Amino acid sequence: MSDKDLIEEAPKKKKGGMKKILLIVIGLLVVIGGGVGGALYAMNAGMLGGHAGAAVAEGPRLVPKAEQKRVGSGGGEGHEASTGHKPPTGVGGDKYASNYYAMDKEFTSNLQDSVHFVQIGIAVSTPYDDTVVENIKTNEIAVRSAILMALGDTTEEQVFTSNGKQMLQRRIAKAINDTLKEKEGFGGVGNVYFTTFVVQ
Protein backbone atom coordinates (compact mmCIF):
# COMPACT_ATOMS: atom_id res chain seq x y z
CA MET A 1 0.00 0.00 0.00
CA SER A 2 1.17 3.42 -0.79
CA ASP A 3 1.05 6.47 1.45
CA LYS A 4 -1.76 7.85 -0.67
CA ASP A 5 -3.94 4.78 -0.02
CA LEU A 6 -3.34 5.05 3.75
CA ILE A 7 -4.35 8.71 3.79
CA GLU A 8 -7.58 7.99 1.92
CA GLU A 9 -8.44 5.01 4.16
CA ALA A 10 -7.95 6.89 7.48
CA PRO A 11 -10.72 9.47 6.92
CA LYS A 12 -13.17 6.68 5.97
CA LYS A 13 -12.62 4.99 9.32
CA LYS A 14 -13.18 8.26 11.20
CA LYS A 15 -16.48 8.86 9.37
CA GLY A 16 -17.82 5.43 10.32
CA GLY A 17 -16.74 5.91 13.94
CA MET A 18 -18.40 9.33 14.14
CA LYS A 19 -21.66 7.88 12.85
CA LYS A 20 -21.63 5.21 15.55
CA ILE A 21 -20.89 7.74 18.30
CA LEU A 22 -23.61 10.08 17.00
CA LEU A 23 -26.16 7.23 16.92
CA ILE A 24 -25.23 6.17 20.47
CA VAL A 25 -25.57 9.74 21.77
CA ILE A 26 -28.95 10.20 20.06
CA GLY A 27 -30.14 6.84 21.42
CA LEU A 28 -29.10 7.80 24.96
CA LEU A 29 -30.88 11.15 24.67
CA VAL A 30 -34.07 9.40 23.53
CA VAL A 31 -33.92 6.90 26.43
CA ILE A 32 -33.15 9.60 29.03
CA GLY A 33 -35.82 11.93 27.63
CA GLY A 34 -38.41 9.15 27.70
CA GLY A 35 -37.51 8.30 31.29
CA VAL A 36 -37.75 11.90 32.44
CA GLY A 37 -41.05 12.37 30.59
CA GLY A 38 -42.46 9.18 32.12
CA ALA A 39 -41.35 10.21 35.61
CA LEU A 40 -42.95 13.65 35.23
CA TYR A 41 -46.18 12.06 34.03
CA ALA A 42 -46.21 9.62 36.98
CA MET A 43 -45.55 12.45 39.47
CA ASN A 44 -48.37 14.58 38.06
CA ALA A 45 -50.70 11.58 38.18
CA GLY A 46 -49.82 11.12 41.86
CA MET A 47 -48.08 7.79 41.39
CA LEU A 48 -44.65 8.94 42.59
CA GLY A 49 -43.11 11.21 45.19
CA GLY A 50 -44.77 13.85 47.30
CA HIS A 51 -47.46 14.63 44.78
CA ALA A 52 -49.61 11.70 45.93
CA GLY A 53 -51.27 13.97 48.51
CA ALA A 54 -51.95 16.61 45.88
CA ALA A 55 -54.37 14.29 44.10
CA VAL A 56 -56.40 13.94 47.32
CA ALA A 57 -56.31 17.67 48.11
CA GLU A 58 -58.00 18.61 44.82
CA GLY A 59 -61.50 18.05 46.18
CA PRO A 60 -63.39 17.49 49.40
CA ARG A 61 -62.24 14.50 51.46
CA LEU A 62 -64.48 12.39 53.70
CA VAL A 63 -63.28 12.72 57.30
CA PRO A 64 -63.22 9.47 59.30
CA LYS A 65 -64.81 9.57 62.76
CA ALA A 66 -61.34 9.12 64.31
CA GLU A 67 -60.29 12.51 62.90
CA GLN A 68 -63.39 14.37 64.10
CA LYS A 69 -62.84 17.80 65.64
CA ARG A 70 -63.98 17.76 69.25
CA VAL A 71 -64.79 20.74 71.43
CA GLY A 72 -63.47 20.37 74.95
CA SER A 73 -63.17 22.47 78.06
CA GLY A 74 -59.62 23.50 77.13
CA GLY A 75 -60.43 26.62 75.09
CA GLY A 76 -61.45 24.86 71.90
CA GLU A 77 -58.86 22.09 72.23
CA GLY A 78 -59.96 18.56 71.54
CA HIS A 79 -60.99 16.28 74.41
CA GLU A 80 -57.97 14.04 73.89
CA ALA A 81 -55.53 16.96 73.90
CA SER A 82 -56.95 18.51 77.07
CA THR A 83 -57.31 15.31 79.14
CA GLY A 84 -54.87 12.93 77.51
CA HIS A 85 -57.67 10.38 76.97
CA LYS A 86 -59.69 9.50 73.93
CA PRO A 87 -63.43 10.23 74.23
CA PRO A 88 -65.58 7.14 74.81
CA THR A 89 -67.01 5.53 71.70
CA GLY A 90 -70.25 3.63 71.52
CA VAL A 91 -71.59 1.07 69.13
CA GLY A 92 -73.06 2.40 65.90
CA GLY A 93 -73.17 6.01 64.87
CA ASP A 94 -71.94 7.54 61.68
CA LYS A 95 -68.81 6.19 60.03
CA TYR A 96 -67.67 9.71 59.14
CA ALA A 97 -67.27 12.81 61.29
CA SER A 98 -69.77 15.65 61.12
CA ASN A 99 -68.31 19.03 60.24
CA TYR A 100 -70.78 21.76 61.29
CA TYR A 101 -71.11 25.33 60.12
CA ALA A 102 -73.70 27.81 61.45
CA MET A 103 -74.55 30.57 59.00
CA ASP A 104 -74.11 34.00 60.57
CA LYS A 105 -77.30 35.80 59.59
CA GLU A 106 -80.86 34.60 59.95
CA PHE A 107 -83.22 34.22 56.99
CA THR A 108 -86.61 35.94 56.79
CA SER A 109 -89.22 35.25 54.14
CA ASN A 110 -92.94 35.59 53.55
CA LEU A 111 -94.82 32.32 53.53
CA GLN A 112 -96.50 31.27 50.32
CA ASP A 113 -100.12 32.55 50.06
CA SER A 114 -100.05 33.86 53.63
CA VAL A 115 -99.76 37.12 55.57
CA HIS A 116 -97.30 35.41 57.91
CA PHE A 117 -93.54 35.22 57.55
CA VAL A 118 -90.90 32.85 58.83
CA GLN A 119 -87.51 33.71 60.30
CA ILE A 120 -84.96 30.91 60.67
CA GLY A 121 -81.34 30.45 61.59
CA ILE A 122 -79.61 27.46 60.06
CA ALA A 123 -76.51 25.35 60.44
CA VAL A 124 -75.29 22.76 57.96
CA SER A 125 -73.35 19.55 58.49
CA THR A 126 -71.10 17.69 56.11
CA PRO A 127 -69.08 14.48 56.39
CA TYR A 128 -66.37 16.15 54.31
CA ASP A 129 -63.41 18.28 55.33
CA ASP A 130 -63.40 22.08 55.53
CA THR A 131 -63.53 22.36 51.72
CA VAL A 132 -67.36 22.25 51.74
CA VAL A 133 -67.58 24.91 54.47
CA GLU A 134 -65.10 27.11 52.57
CA ASN A 135 -67.19 26.66 49.41
CA ILE A 136 -70.30 27.84 51.31
CA LYS A 137 -68.43 30.89 52.61
CA THR A 138 -67.01 31.70 49.18
CA ASN A 139 -70.45 31.48 47.53
CA GLU A 140 -72.44 32.88 50.45
CA ILE A 141 -74.51 35.31 48.39
CA ALA A 142 -75.64 32.62 45.94
CA VAL A 143 -76.28 30.15 48.79
CA ARG A 144 -78.33 32.70 50.77
CA SER A 145 -80.39 33.46 47.66
CA ALA A 146 -81.10 29.75 47.10
CA ILE A 147 -82.19 29.35 50.74
CA LEU A 148 -84.53 32.36 50.48
CA MET A 149 -86.05 30.90 47.30
CA ALA A 150 -86.70 27.60 49.11
CA LEU A 151 -88.24 29.49 52.05
CA GLY A 152 -90.49 31.46 49.69
CA ASP A 153 -92.00 28.19 48.44
CA THR A 154 -92.99 27.17 52.00
CA THR A 155 -96.66 27.16 52.99
CA GLU A 156 -98.15 28.10 56.33
CA GLU A 157 -99.21 24.49 56.97
CA GLN A 158 -95.64 23.26 56.51
CA VAL A 159 -94.10 25.49 59.18
CA PHE A 160 -96.50 24.29 61.87
CA THR A 161 -95.83 20.54 61.56
CA SER A 162 -92.73 18.46 62.22
CA ASN A 163 -93.06 16.72 58.86
CA GLY A 164 -93.32 20.09 57.10
CA LYS A 165 -90.20 21.36 58.87
CA GLN A 166 -88.31 18.19 57.92
CA MET A 167 -89.37 18.67 54.29
CA LEU A 168 -88.12 22.26 54.50
CA GLN A 169 -84.77 21.04 55.86
CA ARG A 170 -84.40 18.68 52.88
CA ARG A 171 -85.40 21.41 50.38
CA ILE A 172 -82.87 23.83 51.88
CA ALA A 173 -80.11 21.17 51.81
CA LYS A 174 -80.93 20.44 48.16
CA ALA A 175 -80.92 24.17 47.32
CA ILE A 176 -77.50 24.61 48.94
CA ASN A 177 -76.06 21.50 47.24
CA ASP A 178 -77.45 22.51 43.85
CA THR A 179 -75.86 25.96 44.20
CA LEU A 180 -72.50 24.53 45.29
CA LYS A 181 -72.56 21.99 42.43
CA GLU A 182 -73.19 24.83 39.98
CA LYS A 183 -70.47 27.06 41.43
CA GLU A 184 -67.84 24.56 42.65
CA GLY A 185 -68.74 21.26 40.98
CA PHE A 186 -69.48 19.55 44.31
CA GLY A 187 -72.23 19.88 46.96
CA GLY A 188 -71.38 17.91 50.08
CA VAL A 189 -73.99 19.21 52.55
CA GLY A 190 -75.54 16.25 54.38
CA ASN A 191 -78.06 17.92 56.67
CA VAL A 192 -79.52 21.30 57.55
CA TYR A 193 -80.45 22.11 61.15
CA PHE A 194 -82.59 24.93 62.45
CA THR A 195 -80.90 27.02 65.12
CA THR A 196 -83.90 29.36 65.37
CA PHE A 197 -87.41 29.05 63.93
CA VAL A 198 -89.98 31.83 64.35
CA VAL A 199 -93.30 32.27 62.52
CA GLN A 200 -95.15 35.59 62.80
- 10 assigned to some structural domain: yes
- 93 assigned to some structural domain: no
Count of domains for the chain? 2
Same domain, 181 and 121: yes
Instruction: State residue 120's pLDDT score.
Output: 97
CATH of residue 157's domain is 3.30.479.30
- 139 assigned to some structural domain: yes
Average of pLDDT values for 5-34?
A: 70
DSSP run (H or E) holding 31: helix 3-44
Average of pLDDT values for 101-121?
A: 95
Q: pLDDT, tens digit, for every residue of 183-200? A: 999 999 999 999 999 999
In whole angstroms, give the CA distance from residue 152 to residue 150: 5
Same domain, 116 and 195: yes
State which residues form the domain around 122.
98-199
In whole angstroms, give the CA distance from residue 154 to residue 118: 9
- The reported pTM is 0.62
Q: pLDDT, tens digit, for every residue of 40-51? A: 776 666 565 554
Least confident among 37-46, 77-86, 107-116, 187-196: 77-86
Q: Taking 70 as the threshold, does the pLDDT of residue 108 lie above it? A: yes
- 61 assigned to some structural domain: no
Same domain, 121 and 191: yes
Instruction: State residue 3's pLDDT score.
Output: 57
Average of pLDDT values for 27-44?
A: 74
Same domain, 193 and 116: yes
Least confident among 28-32, 99-103, 195-199: 28-32
By CB neighbour count within 10 A (0-12 exposed, 13-18 middle, 19+ buried), where does 160 fall?
A: exposed
Which range among 3-12, 15-24, 44-53, 125-134 has the greatest average pLDDT?
125-134
In whole angstroms, give the CA distance from residue 114 to residue 95: 42
* 2-41: burial string, b at 16+ Cβ within 10 Å, e else: eeeeeeeeeeeeeeeeeeeeeeeeeeeeeeeeeeeeeeee
- 167 assigned to some structural domain: yes
| Confidence bin at 174 (pLDDT 50/70/90) | very high
Same domain, 48 and 103: no
| Confidence bin at 19 (pLDDT 50/70/90) | confident
Same domain, 37 and 106: no
